[in-house]
Amino acid sequence: MDHVAIFDTTLRDGEQSPGASMDIEQKLEIAHQLARLGVDAIEAGFPVSSPHQFDACRQIAEQVQGPVITGLARTVEKDIDIVRDALSKAEHWRIHTFIATSPIHMKHKLNMEADAVLEKAVKAVSYARGIAPEVEFSPEDGTRTELDFLCRITEAVIDAGATVVNIPDTVGYSVPEEMAEFISTLKNRVPNIDKAILSVHCHNDLGLAVANTLAAVEKGARQVEVTINGIGERAGNAALEEVVMTLNTRKERLGLTTGVNTKQLYNSSLLLSSIVGFPIPRNKPIVGDNAFAHESGIHQDGVIKNRQTYEIMTPESVGKEESSIVLGRHSGKHGFTNRLKELGISLNKEETDTAYQRFLELADRKKEVYDEDLFIIIGQELHNGLGTYKLNYFNVISGNVSVPTATVRIEINDECIEEAATGDGPIDALFNAIDRATKVKTRLARFQVQAVTPGKQALGEVSVSLEIEENISVGRGSSTDIIEASGKAYVHALNKHLMMKQATEAHRPR
């Protein structure tokens, strides 16, 4: 099978996405993860643009091994020299130089004629090849460039020493058939095209970045420029995980492969999301929460019998633990009873019927019914009177010159317990005090806060995930006071764990 090189530009084009700026330590963390992922090349940044960019590129070049480390440069000798200075200590490195070639860019941005643009491109590539082991050239806005000129400049830069020629769909204007035509034309009309790797860089303005990338690959492109989660300018770039998994899932048809360790895709996606603060949409292909989730009763029945009925790849292949049967108003009894079985709960027919009716009532009131909800249904609806924790009172003292301290009063089965604790901050102190009062050993696995109403008096919603006795319990709380919302969420998670434990013990198969 032919190899398709994966050129990741998360740290350059991806970071140009508004709000996605990263500090040097964060860029290094992403770069190391990209090396673990097994990409062929990492575009570390645009070194000439700022001292920060230069230093980030230099540190990545010095510390990250495996992929080719690439830096972007205009067709200017100063830019090219700075890329060399930043990257020359890398194990493998490349200079990536570009100039716009479409009529609209040449006229309105560059104020240059086509022949002058070609001459400048050739001069820059020749200069870069004299100081770097590899040179990549990109005709910016390539898919709006006249084909005759695109062929001319491609041939000229290859003669000048370009080892990779990348065709950017800079504004996401192409459709797949058109992209395929561009690549076919270059392959057929550029006589020295076999001396360079043909690459594509597709933007997602029309939602076609992945489709255009695959169309180009089918016609002979052997490098694709992509980003984790598809982040980038405007609507973003072709998503690395989507391109890679398409090539992997359909390799018998496409006859193409990559060197990517697909089991690192989910970790890579989560890492980037946490660093830049861009949530992964639930319906995001490959890595979204719903990618391997099934709510429809018909789908659940099929997946329970054979996963391949509704899954064309396995969650394990992208680094996820397992598929999930999502219980909601569209779920059937088969999915409900199967989930109880997986949770270790055994009910007789009458109890199952009662629990299922309670489940349907709950499913009509909320979008999704979680495992914790099932435990509450079993424990609370079928066996009333189970004890729960209640946060009666809390007081937190905090400041920049004082040790954060929290006092709480927790009611447990009509008994009130007061405790106090310190922490790294007011919320940490509150959680520590609750732990002391309840005597439950927990580990905070996730803490998330968001505003659910606008304005200064916004209602804040807090979600916490607690690891308790090797199980994860999720709690939610809301208030205009984030500390209060955090306390509510924490106690909610503890109560869910208590319900789960009691329901499991009561209905464990004997």
3-class secondary structure, 260: coil
- Asked whether 99 and 139 are in contact (CB, 8 A), the reply is yes
107-111, 125-129, 252-256, 451-455: which range is least confident on average?
A: 451-455
Q: What are phi and psi of 26, to 5 degrees?
A: -65, -40
How far, in Å, CA of 329 to CA of 359, rounded? 9
127-131, 192-196, 294-298: which range is least confident on average?
A: 294-298
Average pLDDT over residues 203-210: 98
The yes-or-no verdict on residue 359 having pLDDT over 90 is: no
Taking alpha carbons only, the member of 196, 227, 202, 226 closest to residue 216 is 202
Give the amino acid at 208: L
pLDDT at residue 372 in the model: 59
User: How far is C-alpha 17 from the chain's CA centre?
Assistant: 14
Token code pair at residue 342? 């997986």
171-180, 193-202, 301-310: which range is least confident on average?
A: 301-310
131-160 confidence digits (pLDDT tens): 999 999 999 999 999 999 999 999 999 999
Residue listed under structure tokens 């270790």: 344
How far, in Å, CA of 377 to CA of 359, rounded? 7
Token code pair at residue 297? 């009763």
Residue listed under structure tokens 């998994």: 245
pLDDT at residue 381 in the model: 47
- Out of 3.30.160.270, 1.10.10.10, 2.40.30.10, 3.40.50.300, the CATH code matching 389-506 is 3.30.160.270
CATH match of 2-276 with 3.40.50.2000: no
Q: Which of the pair, 480 or 302, is modelled with greater confidence?
A: 480
How far, in Å, CA of 442 to CA of 494, rounded? 9
How far, in Å, CA of 473 to CA of 492, rounded? 9
Predicted structure pTM score: 0.70
3-class secondary structure, 287: coil
- List the domain boundaries for the chain: 2-276, 293-369, 389-506
Q: Which residues contact 366 (CB under 8 A, 6 or more apart)?
A: none
Radius of gyration of the chain (CA): 28
Q: Which residues contact 247 (CB under 8 A, 6 or more apart)?
A: 4, 214, 217, 254, 256, 257, 258
Taking alpha carbons only, the member of 493, 485, 488 closest to residue 461 is 485
168-177, 234-243, 265-274: which range is least confident on average?
A: 265-274
288-328 confidence digits (pLDDT tens): 877 776 545 555 556 556 666 767 788 888 887 665 556 76
The yes-or-no verdict on residue 385 having pLDDT over 50 is: no
How far, in Å, CA of 262 to CA of 264, rounded? 5
Q: Assign 496 a pLDDT band (cuts: 50, 70, 90).
A: confident
The yes-or-no verdict on residue 115 having pLDDT over 90 is: yes
What's the chain's length in residues? Answer: 510
pLDDT at residue 474 in the model: 81
Continuous segment of H or E residues that includes residue 69: strand 68-74
| Strand duo 415-422 + 402-412: pairing | antiparallel
Q: Assign 371 a pLDDT band (cuts: 50, 70, 90).
A: low
| Strand duo 324-325 + 5-8: pairing | unpaired
